[in-house]
Every structure is written in C-alpha cells, then in structure tokens.
Amino acid sequence: MNKNKSFFITIEGGEGSGKTSNSLLLKKYLESKGFKVLLTREPGGTVAAESIRKILLNPKSKLTPLSELFLYEAARAQHIEEIVRPALKSGAVVICDRFTDATVAYQGFARKLDLSLINKLNAAASGKLIPELTIYLDINPKTGLKKAKNLDKESYGVSGDRIEMESFEFHKNVRKGYLAQAKKYPKRIKVVKTDKDINKTWSAIKKEIDAKLKIKNV
C-alpha cells in the first residue's frame, strides 16, 4: 500500500493483556516497512488528557460511573483533536493503545451504563472516527490481572490502579464486552489470544496487519 496513506489502528484488551508491549512491536515493524508511525494511548497523549488519566487511575479518586465516563470522553475529545486527527492528516499510521471499544467494555458492560449513551458520547468525542483495524488481545482476566498488578508493584510499589482494583467479576464483564464488540464488528476487530508466548501473539498480530495493510514479506 501507499506508505503515505493514513491508517488508524487501535489495540484493545483487558489489564495485562499485552497492549503496550505489542503496540511497541507494531510501531517498530511498521517503521521498518517505511511507514510514518505515531504511537499514542488513551486516556492520555496530551498534557490535559494525561492529567485526566491520573485522576482516572488514582485509587483515591472517588468517581461515579457517569463522571468516570465523562472523564474518559473528555480525554478522548482532546486527544483526537490535538494528536490523532493531525497525524492522520499528515499521512501517518496512528496506533492507539485503547479507544472507543474500551469505553463500551469498561463503562458499558462492566459499569453497566446505558450502551446507547456510550455510543453517542463515543461518536461525539471522536468526531465519529472509527478505526480501520482493531486488534483485541484476549486474555483470561485472572492471568492478565496478576501480570498487571505485579508490574505495578515493581514500578510503583503499589499493586493495582483504580481500575485494576475492581472485582474479578468486573474484569470478566470487560472481557464479555470486548468479545461482544468483536462479534458485532468482525471485519474491523480481530481477536488475538495472548495466553500463549509473546512470539506467537506477535506473529498472529503481524498476520492481521500484513493482510490489512497489504504488506508483502519476501
């Protein structure tokens, strides 16, 4: 494909599913193929949105489900306008670690907020931007949470951010939400199991990317 054609990819998954690790591998891979790549994340990616992220992840923040939803959408609106749209306009491939499917899974399926409200706010905050490809990294929530919490402990001395500290039931519902989205949008969302080792996960992702971006490996 034309190396200057913009392309929007999102990486989704539960806690500790490997979103960050695999987004980095993906960035390096696409750069090696000559694409201009921007890797970013939600909530975050701008000064204001990173501040909102801190509120959202701080275990001391008391948030009602609705105020949580609005904060995610506020961060999204800023991030899309300030970072994602300009990058796409410049012809880059944008890889975003979490996006609108996460809101459906976390605030919809796990927090039980009205899905039609979430879809409306997602569309408003993103200016109706829809990813051309979404990789959903599917992990057993038990394994994922363990990984995520252990990593937090190593880096910050605490085990778990505000979302990771939610119940096992909550995280099982997050997974249900993602799988429901994948079923609803099978062309856009590709499910990749991450229970296996990192090399196998990466080659499954690479296969989806090569097919979508028409990259030929000779």
- Interacting residues toward Mg ion by CB under 5 A: 19-20
Q: Which of ligand ATP, Mg ion, none has residue 15 at its interface (CB below 5 to 8 Å by kind)?
A: ligand ATP
Cβ atoms of 26 and 203 closer than 8 Å: no
Q: How far is the CB of 77 from ligand ATP (least distance, A)?
A: 22
- Pairing type for strands 7-13 and 93-97 reads parallel
User: Residue 10 interacts with ligand ATP (CB under 6 A)?
Assistant: no
Cβ atoms of 42 and 10 closer than 8 Å: no
Residues 151-170 that bind ligand ATP (CB under 6 A): 151
For residues 105-114, one letter each, b for 16 or more C-beta atoms within 10 angstroms of the residue's C-beta and e for the rest, the string is: bbbbbbbebe
DSSP H helical segments within 80-166, as ranges?
85-89, 100-103, 115-126, 141-156
User: Residue 201 interacts with ligand ATP (CB under 6 A)?
Assistant: yes
User: Residue 119 interacts with ligand ATP (CB under 6 A)?
Assistant: no
Residues 32-91 that bind ligand ATP (CB under 6 A): none
User: Residue 16 interacts with ligand ATP (CB under 6 A)?
Assistant: yes
14 labeled binding residue:
yes
Cβ atoms of 102 and 12 closer than 8 Å: yes
User: Residue 18 interacts with ligand ATP (CB under 6 A)?
Assistant: yes
User: Residue 175 interacts with ligand ATP (CB under 6 A)?
Assistant: no
Q: How far is the CB of 50 from ligand ATP (least distance, A)?
A: 14
18 labeled binding residue:
yes
Residue 133 to residue 123: CA distance in whole angstroms: 17
From the list 1-9, 45-53, 165-173, 191-199, the region that binds ligand ATP by CB under 6 A is: 191-199
| 3-state secondary structure (DSSP) of residue 16 | coil
What would the two tokens of residue 26 be? 């993906």
User: Residue 198 interacts with ligand ATP (CB under 6 A)?
Assistant: yes
Residue 117 to residue 119: CA distance in whole angstroms: 5
User: Residue 17 interacts with ligand ATP (CB under 6 A)?
Assistant: yes
| 3-state secondary structure (DSSP) of residue 93 | strand
Q: Which of Mg ion, ligand ATP, none has residue 138 at its interface (CB below 5 to 8 Å by kind)?
A: none
Q: For 91, phi and psi rounded to 5 degrees?
A: 90, 20
What is the crossing angle of helices 65-79 and 115-126, to 10°? Answer: 20
Q: How far is the CB of 204 from ligand ATP (least distance, A)?
A: 9
44 labeled binding residue:
no
Binding-site residues for ATP, please?
13-20
Query: Which positions lie near ligand ATP, rule CB under 6 A?
Result: 13, 15-21, 147-148, 151, 194, 197-198, 201
